[in-house]
Amino acid sequence: MTFNKTLLASTIAVTAMMASGAQAQMSNDAVRIGYLADMSGTYRDLAGPGGLEALEMAVEDFGGEVNGVPIEVFSADDRNSADVGANTVRGWIDQQNVDLVAGMVASSVTIAVTKVLEEAGGLGIVSGSAASSITNEHCTPNHIHWVYDTYPLAHGTAKAVVEQGGDTWFMLTADYAFGHALENDVTQVVEEHGGEVVGRVRHPFPTNDFSSYILQAQGSGADIIGLANAGSDTVNAIKTASQFGLTQAGQQLAGLLIFLNDVHAMGLEATQGLLLTTGWYWDMDEQSREWAERYFERMGRMPTMVQAGIYSSTMHYLNAVDAVDTDDPMAVRAQMAETPVEDMFARNGRIREDGRMVHDMYLAEVKTPEESTGEWDLYEIKSTIPADEAYRPLSESQCDLVNQ
The pLDDT of residue 310: 98
The CATH code for residues 151-278+361-388 is 3.40.50.2300
Question: Whose CA is closest to 121, among 24, 27, 15?
Answer: 27
The pLDDT of residue 2: 37
What spatial distance separates the first Cα and last Cα of the chain, rounded to whole Å? 11
Cα–Cα distance for residue pair 394/373, rounded to 1 Å: 41
Cα–Cα distance for residue pair 31/48, rounded to 1 Å: 22
Residue type at position 395: S
The pLDDT of residue 308: 98
Cα–Cα distance for residue pair 308/31, rounded to 1 Å: 21
DSSP state of 183: H
| 384: phi then psi, degrees, rounded to nearest 5 | -100, 135
The pLDDT of residue 28: 84
* CATH H-level superfamily of 2-148+284-355: Response regulator (3.40.50.2300)
Question: Whose CA is closest to 115, among 81, 78, 85?
Answer: 85
User: Alpha carbon 154 to chain centroid distance?
Assistant: 14
Cα–Cα distance for residue pair 201/181, rounded to 1 Å: 14
123 membership: H or E segment, kind and range: strand 123-126
The Cβ of residue 25 has, within 10 Å, a number of other Cβ atoms equal to 16
DSSP 74-89: EEEE-TT-HHHHHHHH
Strands 69-77 and 31-37: parallel
DSSP state of 54: H
Residue type at position 99: D
Q: Up-side HSE of residue 153: CA atoms within 13 Å toward CB?
A: 28
Cα–Cα distance for residue pair 171/147, rounded to 1 Å: 24
Query: Where are the domains positioned within the chain?
Result: 2-148+284-355, 151-278+361-388
Kindly calculate the radius of gyration of the chain based on its CA atoms and give it in whole angstroms.
Answer: 21
pTM of the complete model beyond 0.85: yes
CA-CA-CA-CA torsion sign (189, 191, 197, 200) = positive
The Cβ of residue 288 has, within 10 Å, a number of other Cβ atoms equal to 18
Name every residue whose Cβ is closer than 8 Å to that of residue 211 and which is 6 or more positions away in sequence: 240, 244
> What is the block-wise mean pLDDT of the chain (404 residues), using blocks of 10 residues?
39 38 69 97 94 98 97 97 98 97 96 98 97 95 96 89 92 93 93 96 95 96 94 91 85 90 91 90 97 98 98 98 97 98 97 98 93 97 91 95 78
